[in-house]
Amino acid sequence: MTRLVLVHGRDLDGRDPEALERQWLCALGAGLAAAGSPLRPTDDDASFVYYGDTLERLVDGRTPPPVTVHALAADPAALPWLVGRLPDGELRFLLDVAREVLAGAGHGPGAAPPAVVEGALGDALVEAVVAALALVDRVVPGVSAAVLLTLTRDVYAYLHDDAVRRAIDAGLADALADATAGDEPAVVIAHSLGSVVAYSVLAARASGPEVPLLLTPGSPLGIRAVREALESRAPLVFPAQVGRWVSPRDPRDLLALHDLTPDVFPLPTGRGPGSATIEAPRVTNRAPGFHAAAYRLDDGAWAGYLALPEVAGPVGEALT
């Protein structure tokens, strides 16, 4: 029997994993219904990989706790202090991502803060990051400085901190092992930062139980700083055990920023290992900010990527 392995995104520490899993499955059920599928997966059919508290604790051990939207919205003046406590490598990563998001929103180099001279440290780098985040707050629809800072900190910690990556990868590896006991296949649905985790774990495996579908809605894998961090460890590949990789994105989702097309996420060409193609459909996400995987609207209807028939449809096909 094919099982679901669900991998969540950023900024979900302190949440109830069972409640999150129910939200995902309800939204997915709505999407399957809209796609004409009779399937309605339950928690008995799924393994929800919850690493929010683990990530929060590991990040907290090295730097200040992840900034929440509420904390930053309540006191915008705290932004320079918070940013000033980050190490230079993380500041440069944050600045690169912020500038790419600004460019994606139509605010190119002329609107962004002046480039920092290569090798600049300390106050100059902090000032450039603070200015870029302030500009994000003013001109980027659906994205705040707080949201971008939280996403970037979580992604940076996963990509650059071996302890963080080992702990989170082990959780997903265990979930895959449980789901694929007896060499049964597993469909992997990984949203946002979860797509970076799922790709890293699956790409590192030369073989393993079949994954007929890897679904990565709202993935930041196409962001240059993220892609380059992955490439610094190993060449990009299409994971060997994955049969089909679908990566939907709402063009307004500036936390995902790019469709996973060959120009932004180049994979080997030809028929050899790691040379398949990622499907990158564009969709319309009704959730606020256009990025959520599952979101309950005021009228009780489900929104988010998983509630869309174009996103849930491939899951129904893979499960049957």
pLDDT tens string 38-55: 999 998 899 888 876 566
Please give the Cα distance from 13 to 4 (Å, whole number).
22
Mean pLDDT of all residues in 289-294: 94
Asked if the model's pLDDT at residue 62 lies above 90, the reply is: no
Cβ neighbours, 10 Å, residue 78: 12
Q: How far apart are alpha carbons 30 and 74 in whole angstroms?
A: 35
pLDDT digits (tens, 9 = 90+) for 156-177: 989 998 888 888 888 888 888 8
Pure H helices in the chain = 17-34, 52-60, 69-74, 79-84, 88-104, 123-139, 145-160, 162-179, 193-203, 224-231, 309-319
Mean pLDDT over each residue of the chain, to the nearest integer: 84
Q: Determine the Cα–Cα distance for residues 62 and 244; give it in Å rounded to an integer.
A: 38
pLDDT score for 107:
80
Alpha carbons 67 and 46: distance in angstroms, whole number: 30
pLDDT at 70 over 60: no
* pLDDT value, residue 110: 52
Position 9 pLDDT exceeds 90: no
CA distance 306 to 48: 14
Percent of the chain with pLDDT strictly greater than 90: 51
CATH of domain 3-16+45-57+163-292: 3.40.50.1820
- What integer pLDDT is reported at residue 57 of this predicted model? 53
> What pLDDT was estimated at residue 177?
83
Q: Where are the domains of the chain?
A: 3-16+45-57+163-292, 65-159
Element (H, E) at 187: strand 186-190
CA distance 63 to 66: 9
Statement: residue 4 has pLDDT above 50: yes
Instruction: Pick the range with the lowest mean pLDDT from 117-126, 272-281, 292-301.
Output: 117-126
pLDDT band at residue 126 using 50, 70 and 90 as cut-offs: confident
pLDDT digits (tens, 9 = 90+) for 173-204: 888 887 777 678 999 999 999 999 999 999 99
What pLDDT is attached to residue 1?
Answer: 65
- Does the pLDDT value for residue 316 go beyond 60? yes
pLDDT computed for residue 18 by the predictor = 85
Q: Is the pLDDT of residue 112 over 80?
A: no
Determine the pLDDT at residue 13: 54
